[in-house]
C-alpha cells in the first residue's frame, strides 16, 4: 500500500509544480502589461499637460488683447435728453464680430462662411487677418442680431462676439447737428457728444470708471417738439422756394438758452458717414455769411444808443450815396427824406449808411465788438466759425457793414445780438444746456440802454405791421422782425441772381420771450410774376414756426378789445 501510494503522490507533486511555475510566469506578464499601460497613459497625460501648458502660454497675449477690446467696447456714455426729458441719444447693446487667428482650423472655410453671410466684408482683407497669426482681430463691428445669429450658427472655431455699446439717436436727423455723433468706439466726434467727452467723460473712461456704469443723463436746453417744428418748416420752405440750404434758430431772449437749432441739409447721426458730406455742415454755428439788412437793426440801435441820432430824426434818401468810387442805392427807393422808423421799415441802405456816418466809424467798430460780432462765438458745440472781418475797417467798409455787407458772421451770432436788442439791452452768451437765473445775472452784459431796447421793440413790431415783415405776423403774438436779403459772392464779385435771405424776429414784442431767425440760401420765387425777397419766403416761414411752436413754449395768444391783437407803441 505504501509503495502503491507513493508513486501517486510523487506524480501528483510532479504535476503540481509546473502549474505553479506557469502561474508565476503568467502573473509577471500581467503585471508587466499593467505597468506598460500605466506608462502609456502617463505619457499621454504628460503630452496633454504639456500641450495645455503650451496653449496657455500661447494664449496669454490674445487674452490681453481680448480683455483690452472688451474694456474699450464696454465704455458707456450718458443719455442726452431734451429739456422735457425726451431721449435724444442713448446706448444700446450690439454684437461685434472678432477672430482669434491662432485658433482658426480652416481659413478657407471661415472666409467662405463669413463673406457669404456678410457680403460687405472685404474677402481679401478677412483672409489676411485670419492668416495673420495674431491673437485678436476685429472683423465686423455693430452687427444686427439677425446677422450675428447666422454667423454664430456656422460654428467656426476661433470666431466669437463681444457685446458693446452702440450709440442710438431715436430722433434721427431731427437734432443731428446739436447732439453730434460718435465713432465706432463710442467716442464723441462732434456736437454735444464731443463736448461731453472733452468736459469729463474722456477722463472718466481713462481711469476705467465708465465701463458698465449707468450715468446721470445730460439735460439740454433744446425742446425736441420745437426742434421738430423748426426742421419741418425749413424742409417745407426749401421745397416751396427751391432753396439749396436753410438754417433756423429759436433762442430764449431772457436766458440765452438755445431752444431749437436746425441746419439743412442735415444728417442722421445713426449713419455717421453722412456727416462727412460737405454740404451737410452746421450752418447755424459753423458757417459765416453776410446777413444783409437784418444788420440794420444793429446799426439803428447803435445810432440811437450813441445819442447822435434820435428816433425823431430824418435823413435824406432822395439820391444815391457815393463813397470811394462806389454807389450805394436803395432796392425800392422812396426818393425822399425818411424818418428813422421809415428807414427801418423801408430798409433804406442810404438812410442806414447816413445814420452810421452820424455815429462814426470808430463807434461802429466798438459796437460790433460789444455785440461779440467780431470774434468767434463760444458755445458747447465745437463747430463755431470765426467771423470774416473787412481787410480795412474804413469809411466805405463801415457804410456797407451798416446794412449787412462786408462783415460775415454766423446765424447764431446774429440771433444772440438780436436778443440783446429786444430783452432790455442785455447780451447773454448762448448755451445748449439749461441755465439758472443766478447764472443769467452773472453772465449778462448791458450793451444798450433799456430805453433803446424799447425803441427797437417798437421798430421791430412796426416793420411787421407796416413794412417788409407783414407775412410773419401771427395774430395774438405781436411778432416783430426785420428782413434781410444779401447778394452772394462768387469769385470775389456780388452775384445779383443768387441771394441769401433771412428774417430776424422776436415775440411777443411787448415782453419778448424768444428770438427766431430763419435763413434760406438761394431761394427762388414761389411762382411766376413775383420776387424772391425775404419778405416773401423767410418771413412767412418764421410766422409758421411761431404759430406752431409758441403754444408748446407756453406762450399763449392774447387779444385786446374786439379780438384785435395787442399792440405796442413808442
Rounded Cα distance between 504 and 424, Å, is 17
77-122+133-217: CATH topology is Penicillin-binding protein 2a (Domain 2) (3.90.1310)
Which runs of consecutive H residues, i.e. helices, occur in 271-403?
283-286, 295-306, 340-345, 349-359, 361-370, 395-402
Q: DSSP string covering 170-195, please?
A: TTGGGGHHHH--B-TTS-B-SHHHHH
Residue 4 pLDDT grade (very low, low, confident, very high; cuts 50, 70, 90) = very low
What are the tens digits of pLDDT across the range 269-290? 998 888 878 889 999 999 999 9
Task: Give the residue-averaged pLDDT of 378-395.
Answer: 95
Task: Give the residue-averaged pLDDT of 420-430.
Answer: 97
In this predicted structure, what is the pLDDT of residue 51? 61
Is-contact 331 347, C-beta < 8 A?
A: yes
Between helices 349-359 and 395-402, what is the axis angle to 10°?
Answer: 130
- Type and span of the H or E element at 545: helix 538-552
Residue 214 pLDDT grade (very low, low, confident, very high; cuts 50, 70, 90) = low
Q: Per the structure block, which three cell numbers stand in for 203?
A: 477722463
* pLDDT above 70 coverage of the chain, percent: 86
The terminus-to-terminus CA distance of the chain in angstroms comes to 163
pLDDT greater at residue 536 or residue 495: 536
Residue 564 pLDDT grade (very low, low, confident, very high; cuts 50, 70, 90) = very low
Residue 5 pLDDT grade (very low, low, confident, very high; cuts 50, 70, 90) = very low
Q: DSSP string covering 31-65, please?
A: HHHHHHHHHHHHHHHHHHHHHHHHHHHHTHHHHHH
Residue 202 pLDDT grade (very low, low, confident, very high; cuts 50, 70, 90) = confident
Task: Give the residue-averaged pLDDT of 252-275.
Answer: 94
365 pLDDT above the threshold of 50: yes
What are the tens digits of pLDDT across the range 332-345? 888 899 999 999 99
Helix, strand, coil percentages in the chain from 3-state DSSP, rounded to 5: 45, 20, 35
What are the tens digits of pLDDT across the range 73-115? 546 789 999 999 999 999 888 888 889 988 888 889 998 999 9
The number of CA neighbours under 13 Å toward the Cβ of 41 is 6
pLDDT greater at residue 302 or residue 29: 302
Task: Give the residue-averaged pLDDT of 30-44.
Answer: 73
In this predicted structure, what is the pLDDT of residue 75? 61
Residue 569 pLDDT grade (very low, low, confident, very high; cuts 50, 70, 90) = low
Task: Give the residue-averaged pLDDT of 489-508.
Answer: 91
Contacts of 326 (CB under 8 A, 6+ apart): 396
Phi, psi angle pair for 246, to nearest 5°: -160, 160
In this predicted structure, what is the pLDDT of residue 441? 96
Residue closest to 455 by CA, chosen among 270, 276, 303? 303
pTM score, whole prediction: 0.81
Residue 324 pLDDT grade (very low, low, confident, very high; cuts 50, 70, 90) = confident
Q: Per the structure block, which three cell numbers stand in for 354?
A: 447816413
Q: DSSP string covering 501-515, please?
A: EEEEEEE-TTS--EE
Which of 76, 293, 347, 453 is labelled catalytic?
Answer: 293
Residue 66 pLDDT grade (very low, low, confident, very high; cuts 50, 70, 90) = very low
Rounded Cα distance between 82 and 393, Å, is 42
Pick from 49-63, 299-313, 403-417: least confident: 49-63
196 pLDDT above the threshold of 50: yes
Q: Per the structure block, which three cell numbers stand in for 435?
A: 441755465
Task: Give the residue-averaged pLDDT of 195-221.
Answer: 77
62 pLDDT above the threshold of 50: no
Cα 541 from chain centre: 23
Q: DSSP string covering 69-90, please?
A: HHHHHTB--PPEE-TTS-EEEE
Is-contact 260 250, C-beta < 8 A?
A: yes
Can you tell me which residue has the cell 499637460? 49
Mean pLDDT of the chain: 87
224-551: CATH topology is Beta-lactamase (3.40.710)
141 pLDDT above the threshold of 70: yes
57 pLDDT above the threshold of 80: no
Going from N- to C-terminal start, the domains of the chain cover: 77-122+133-217, 224-551
In this predicted structure, what is the pLDDT of residue 277? 86
In this predicted structure, what is the pLDDT of residue 30? 66
In eight-state DSSP terms, residue 428 is -
What are the tens digits of pLDDT across the range 520-542? 999 999 888 788 899 999 999 99
Task: Give the residue-averaged pLDDT of 358-372.
Answer: 97
Active site residue 466: no
Amino acid at each position: 500500500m505504501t509503495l502503491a501510494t507513493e508513486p501517486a503522490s510523487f506524480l501528483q507533486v510532479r504535476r503540481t509544480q509546473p502549474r505553479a511555475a506557469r502561474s508565476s510566469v503568467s502573473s509577471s506578464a500581467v503585471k508587466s502589461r499593467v505597468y506598460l499601460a500605466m506608462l502609456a497613459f502617463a505619457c499621454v497625460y504628460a503630452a496633454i499637460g504639456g500641450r495645455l501648458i503650451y496653449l496657455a502660454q500661447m494664449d496669454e497675449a490674445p487674452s490681453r488683447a481680448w480683455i483690452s477690446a472688451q474694456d474699450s467696447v464696454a465704455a458707456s456714455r450718458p443719455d442726452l435728453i431734451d429739456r422735457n426729458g425726451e431721449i435724444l441719444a442713448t446706448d444700446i447693446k450690439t454684437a461685434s464680430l472678432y477672430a482669434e487667428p491662432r485658433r482658426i482650423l480652416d481659413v478657407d472655410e471661415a472666409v467662405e462662411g463669413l463673406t457669404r453671410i456678410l457680403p460687405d466684408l472685404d474677402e481679401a482683407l478677412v483672409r489676411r487677418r485670419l492668416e495673420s497669426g495674431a491673437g485678436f482681430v476685429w472683423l465686423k463691428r455693430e452687427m444686427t442680431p439677425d446677422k450675428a445669429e447666422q454667423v454664430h450658427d456656422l460654428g467656426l472655431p476661433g470666431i466669437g462676439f463681444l457685446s458693446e455699446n452702440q450709440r442710438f439717436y431715436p430722433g434721427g436727423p431731427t437734432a443731428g447737428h446739436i447732439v453730434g455723433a460718435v465713432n465706432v468706439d463710442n467716442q464723441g466726434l462732434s456736437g454735444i457728444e464731443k463736448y461731453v467727452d472733452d468736459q469729463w467723460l474722456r477722463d472718466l473712461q481713462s481711469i476705467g470708471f465708465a465701463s458698465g456704469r449707468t450715468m446721470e443723463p445730460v439735460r439740454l436746453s433744446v425742446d425736441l417738439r420745437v426742434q421738430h417744428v423748426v426742421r419741418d418748416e425749413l424742409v417745407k420752405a426749401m421745397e416751396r422756394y427751391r432753396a439749396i440750404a436753410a438754417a433756423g434758430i429759436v433762442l430764449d431772449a431772457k436766458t440765452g438758452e438755445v431752444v431749437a437749432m436746425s441746419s439743412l441739409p442735415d444728417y442722421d447721426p445713426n449713419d455717421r458717414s453722412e456727416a462727412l458730406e460737405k454740404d451737410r455742415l452746421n450752418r447755424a454755428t459753423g458757417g459765416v455769411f453776410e446777413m444783409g439788412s437784418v444788420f440794420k437793426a444793429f446799426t439803428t440801435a447803435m445810432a440811437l444808443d450813441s445819442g447822435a441820432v434820435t428816433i425823431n430824426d430824418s435823413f435824406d434818401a432822395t439820391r444815391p450815396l457815393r463813397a470811394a468810387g462806389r454807389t450805394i442805392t436803395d432796392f425800392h427807393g422812396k426818393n425822399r427824406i425818411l424818418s428813422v422808423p421809415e428807414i427801418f421799415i423801408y430798409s433804406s441802405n442810404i438812410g442806414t449808411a447816413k445814420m452810421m456816418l452820424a455815429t462814426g466809424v470808430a463807434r461802429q467798430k466798438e459796437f460790433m465788438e460789444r455785440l461779440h460780432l467780431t470774434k468767434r462765438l463760444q458755445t458747447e458745440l465745437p463747430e463755431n466759425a470765426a467771423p470774416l472781418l473787412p481787410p480795412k475797417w474804413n469809411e466805405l467798409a463801415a457804410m456797407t457793414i451798416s446794412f449787412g455787407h462786408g462783415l460775415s458772421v454766423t446765424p447764431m451770432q446774429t440771433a444772440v445780438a438780436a436778443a440783446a436788442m429786444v430783452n432790455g439791452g442785455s447780451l447773454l452768451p448762448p448755451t445748449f444746456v439749461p441755465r439758472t437765473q443766478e447764472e443769467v445775472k452773472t453772465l449778462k452784459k448791458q450793451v444798450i440802454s433799456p430805453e433803446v431796447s424799447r425803441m427797437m421793440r417798437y421798430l421791430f413790431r412796426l416793420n411787421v405791421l407796416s413794412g417788409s415783415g407783414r407775412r410773419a405776423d401771427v395774430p395774438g403774438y405781436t411778432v416783430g422782425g426785420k428782413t434781410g436779403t444779401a447778394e452772394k459772392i462768387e469769385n470775389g464779385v456780388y452775384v445779383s441772381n443768387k441771394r441769401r435771405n433771412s428774417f430776424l424776429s422776436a415775440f411777443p414784442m411787448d415782453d419778448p420771450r424768444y428770438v427766431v431767425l430763419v435763413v434760406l440760401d438761394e431761394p427762388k420765387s414761389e411762382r411766376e410774376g413775383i420776387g424772391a425777397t425775404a419778405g416773401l419766403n423767410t418771413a412767412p416761414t418764421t410766422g409758421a414756426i411761431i404759430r406752431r411752436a409758441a403754444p408748446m413754449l407756453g406762450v399763449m395768444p392774447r387779444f385786446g378789445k374786439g379780438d384785435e391783437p395787442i399792440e405796442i407803441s413808442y
